[in-house]
Amino acid sequence: MNAELKNRLDSLNEILEAVESCKKCKLYKFRNKCVFAEGGGGAETMLIGLSPGKEENSTGRLFIGPSGDFLNGLLQLAKICRESLYITNIIKCHAPTYAIGKAEVAACSPYLDKQIEIVRPKTIIPLGSIAMQHIFEKYNLPKKAISEIHGQTFQAPIRDLFNTTQELRIIPMFHPAAALRTNGLLGLIREDWQNLHNER
């Protein structure tokens, strides 16, 4: 492991420790296990979901159960190896009975912003409208509904370590759980991920 990657992992572990003890919003009361991230600090593509479900909250693992199985199938369609990704959520704690609001996003999104800063992915795939809205706001992209722009590629200029301007790719996708709730989205979501493979 080179020194730069080790520094990234050390920095991510510091954020993990902060998340494990976080009480910035009421969701900490429902946290059984911290569901922080999956993948290495050198990943070129970052997937950002919403929040841990019941199974994730009990195991500490991301995207397991039906939603995770469906995501794995979508990754296969796009010929993307899950192990090559950095996967996380915008909300780190389980939200059991009510919708996630602005207060929860405001409390938790700084952790995500730090993860992005450390990992420095070349591509970000936000899953679902809440993750998409945060990423679009962060990179000054126009406000749109995910139903209008799912599967489309957006470019955001960023500065690298050498202060050189680079283009970050942002590709919003429907959350896998949305397809499990809405049968009409199944074909649309599969088509988006198939197109992602064709564009790579």
Report pLDDT digits (tens) over 145-173.
999 999 999 999 887 655 677 899 999 99
What is the structure's pLDDT at 96? 73
- Specify whether the backbone of 63 is left (phi greater than 0), alpha (psi in -120 to 50) or beta: left
Among the residues of 78-185, which ranges form H helices?
A: 102-119, 129-138, 146-149, 176-181
What is the structure's pLDDT at 155? 96
What is the structure's pLDDT at 15? 97
What is the structure's pLDDT at 162? 58
pLDDT < 70: residue spans in the chain: 97-98, 160-163, 200
pTM: 0.94
Structure tokens at 41: 């600090």
All domains in the chain, ordered by first residue: 3-199 (3.40.470.10)
